[in-house]
C-alpha cells in the first residue's frame, strides 16, 4: 500500500473550533427545517444578514453551499442539470451547481453532516450589490418553494459614494421589515437588531485584524487558509460564536508571528490573489505555491466580508454603507487604488488575476486592469484562466506552467 503523502500545509489549531461552528450552523438549520421551530431566511453572501438575524431568522447562505459544491468537486457533474432547464453554462457556476444539486438531490451536506438536503426557506433575501445572478438564482427557488423573494437593488460601478445612494439603500433595507414581519410572525425589535449589527461589527473588525496579520514577514497564514477560515464571517456574522472564533484565531496567528512561524517555510515571494478562489483546486494550488516558496498573503475576495462600517447607533444607514462600499460595487479607479493600498500594506511582489469564466463580476482582468496596475505599481501580474466551480474551464497543467514561469520571472527581477 502506498503511504499517504504528507501535506506541507501547516494546520491551524483553531480549525477544530471552526469545524464545530460550521457543523452547528447546518445542524441548527436542518432541525429548524424539519421541526419548524424557527423561520429560515436564505440570504446572499453580502446581503442584509444582520437584519435577518435581528428579526429572529436562522440564516442560510446558498453561496456557501455553492463553495462546498466546488470544494468537494461535485459541481462539475451537477451543473449540466441546471443547463438542462435553461440556465446557461456561461452564467454563475455557483447558481448552476447549486440548482443542479437541488435537481439531482445531491448535496455535500450529506457526506459532511449526514443532512439530506438544504433547508427549506421561508423567505429569500438578496442584494444585487455583487451581481444580478443572485436575484435570478433566488427567484428560481422562490418559484420552486412558493415563498417570497425580496431584496435590495444596489447602485453599481460607483466611484465616490453619494448620500442619496446610501439613503436609498438604507430605505430599501428598512422596507424589508414589513414583509419579513409577515413571514416571521414577530414584531420588529430595534434592540435585537442593533445587537446583531454590533456583533457583526465586532466579527468584521476581528476578521480584518486576522487578515492583516499576513502583513508580517514571513506571513503566518495564506490566502488558502483565509478561504477556509472566512466561514464564520460569512455564515455566522451577527452571532457571538463568530466573534469568539476570531478572537481565538487571532491569538493563534499572533503567536505564530511572535514565534516566527511561517505558513510557507522559507517564504521568498509574496503575492496578491485577485478574483474568486478555484474551489476544487485549493489544495494542489496551495501546495504548488508552497513548493515555490511563495505565499499568497492577501486577496480581494477574502476582504469582502469586512463590514466594519457597521454601527448599532445607525443600523440601517451603516448597513447601507457597509454593503455599498464593497470593492465589487465600485468603479475601476476605486478598485485600482484599493489594490495599490493593499500593496503598500502587505508588500507583495506580484498579483495573480483569476479570470473566472462564469463570474465576470469578480474577474477584474478583462478591461486592462492588470496592465495598468503593473505599470503603476512596478510589479508583474499573471492571469490564470479558470472558474470558481466549473473545473472544465480550468487546465491544471497550464496553470502550473504559468505560475512556475511567473515565479521564475520574479526570481530574475
DSSP states of 86-126: T--TTS-HHHHHHHHHHHHT--HHHHHH---SPPPPSEEEE
Q: Is 101 in the site for ligand SF4 (CB under 6 A)?
A: no
From the CB of 63, what's the least distance to ligand SF4, in Å?
Answer: 6
Q: Is 130 in the site for ligand SF4 (CB under 6 A)?
A: yes
Q: Cβ closer to ligand SF4: 59 or 359?
A: 359
Taking the C-alpha atoms of residue 66 and residue 86, their distance in angstroms, rounded to an integer, is 19
Binding mask 263-292 for ligand SF4 (x = CB under 6 A): -------------x----------------
Q: Which of 276, 346, 305, 67 is nearest to 206 (CA)?
A: 305
Q: Cβ closer to ligand SF4: 133 or 317?
A: 133
Size of interface with ligand SF4, in residues (CB under 6 A): 12
Binding mask 40-79 for ligand SF4 (x = CB under 6 A): -----------------------x----------------
Q: Is 133 in the site for ligand SF4 (CB under 6 A)?
A: yes
Grid cell locating 145 = 418553494
Q: Cβ closer to ligand SF4: 228 or 257?
A: 228
From the CB of 44, what's the least distance to ligand SF4, in Å?
Answer: 7
9-16 long-range CB contacts below 8 Å, 24 or more apart? 9/224, 9/283, 9/286, 9/287, 9/290, 10/261, 10/263, 12/221, 12/225, 12/229, 12/249, 12/252, 13/252, 14/229, 14/245, 14/248, 14/249, 14/252, 15/228, 15/229
DSSP states of 288-336: HHHHTTEEEEEEHHHHTT--TT--TTSHHHHHHHHHHSSGGGB-HHHHH
Q: Cβ closer to ligand SF4: 126 or 289?
A: 126
| Residues in region 341-380 near ligand SF4 by CB under 6 A | 359, 361-362
What is the SS3 assignment for 354? strand
- Candidate list 41, 43, 92, 199; residue touching ligand SF4; CB under 6 A: 92
From 14-22, 113-121, 131-139, 191-199, span contacting ligand SF4 (CB under 6 A): 131-139
Paired sense of beta strands 294-299 and 381-386, if any: unpaired
Q: Is 99 in the site for ligand SF4 (CB under 6 A)?
A: no
From the CB of 314, what's the least distance to ligand SF4, in Å?
Answer: 27
From the CB of 170, what's the least distance to ligand SF4, in Å?
Answer: 23
Bond prior to 218 in cis (omega within 30° of 0): yes
- Footprint of ligand SF4 on this chain (CB under 6 A)? 63, 92, 94, 130-131, 133-134, 276, 359, 361-362, 388
Amino acid at each position: 500500500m502506498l503511504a499517504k503523502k504528507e501535506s506541507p500545509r501547516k494546520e491551524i489549531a483553531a480549525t477544530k473550533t471552526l469545524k464545530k461552528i460550521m457543523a452547528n450552523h447546518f445542524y441548527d438549520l436542518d432541525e429548524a427545517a424539519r421541526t419548524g421551530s424557527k423561520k429560515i431566511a436564505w440570504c446572499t453572501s453580502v446581503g442584509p444578514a444582520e437584519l435577518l438575524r435581528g428579526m429572529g431568522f436562522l440564516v442560510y447562505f446558498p453561496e456557501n453551499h455553492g463553495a462546498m459544491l466546488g470544494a468537494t468537486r461535485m459541481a462539475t457533474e451537477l451543473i449540466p442539470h441546471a443547463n438542462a432547464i435553461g440556465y446557461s453554462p456561461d452564467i454563475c457556476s455557483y447558481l448552476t451547481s447549486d440548482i443542479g444539486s437541488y435537481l439531482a438531490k445531491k448535496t455535500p451536506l450529506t457526506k459532511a453532516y449526514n443532512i439530506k438536503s438544504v433547508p427549506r426557506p421561508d423567505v429569500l433575501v438578496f442584494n444585487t450589490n455583487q451581481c444580478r445572478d443572485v436575484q435570478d438564482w433566488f427567484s428560481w427557488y422562490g418559484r420552486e418553494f412558493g415563498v417570497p423573494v425580496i431584496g435590495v437593488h444596489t447602485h453599481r460601478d460607483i466611484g465616490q459614494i453619494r448620500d442619496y445612494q446610501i439613503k436609498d439603500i438604507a430605505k430599501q433595507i428598512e422596507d424589508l421589515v414589513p414583509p419579513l414581519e409577515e413571514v416571521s410572525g414577530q414584531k420588529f425589535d430595534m434592540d435585537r437588531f442593533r445587537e446583531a449589527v454590533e456583533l457583526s461589527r465586532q466579527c468584521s473588525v476581528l476578521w480584518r485584524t486576522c487578515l492583516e496579520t499576513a502583513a508580517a514577514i514571513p506571513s503566518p497564514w495564506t490566502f488558502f487558509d483565509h478561504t477556509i477560515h472566512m466561514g464564520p464571517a460569512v455564515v455566522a456574522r451577527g452571532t457571538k460564536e463568530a466573534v469568539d472564533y476570531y478572537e481565538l484565531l487571532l491569538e493563534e496567528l499572533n503567536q505564530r508571528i511572535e514565534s516566527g512561524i511561517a505558513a510557507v517555510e522559507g517564504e521568498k515571494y509574496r503575492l496578491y490573489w485577485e478574483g474568486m478562489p478555484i474551489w476544487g483546486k485549493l489544495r494542489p494550488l496551495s501546495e504548488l505555491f508552497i513548493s515555490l516558496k511563495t505565499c499568497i498573503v492577501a486577496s480581494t475576495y477574502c476582504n469582502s466580508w469586512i463590514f466594519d462600517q457597521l454601527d448599532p447607533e445607525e443600523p440601517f444607514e451603516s448597513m447601507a454603507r457597509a454593503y455599498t462600499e464593497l470593492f465589487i460595487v465600485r468603479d475601476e479607479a476605486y478598485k485600482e487604488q484599493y489594490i495599490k493600498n493593499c500593496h503598500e500594506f502587505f508588500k507583495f511582489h506580484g498579483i495573480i488575476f483569476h479570470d473566472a469564466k462564469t463570474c465576470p463580476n469578480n474577474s477584474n482582468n478583462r478591461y486592462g486592469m492588470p496592465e495598468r496596475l503593473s505599470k503603476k505599481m512596478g510589479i508583474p501580474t499573471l492571469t490564470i484562466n479558470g472558474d470558481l466551480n466549473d473545473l472544465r474551464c480550468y487546465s491544471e497543467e497550464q496553470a502550473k506552467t504559468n505560475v512556475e514561469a511567473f515565479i521564475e520571472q520574479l526570481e530574475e527581477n
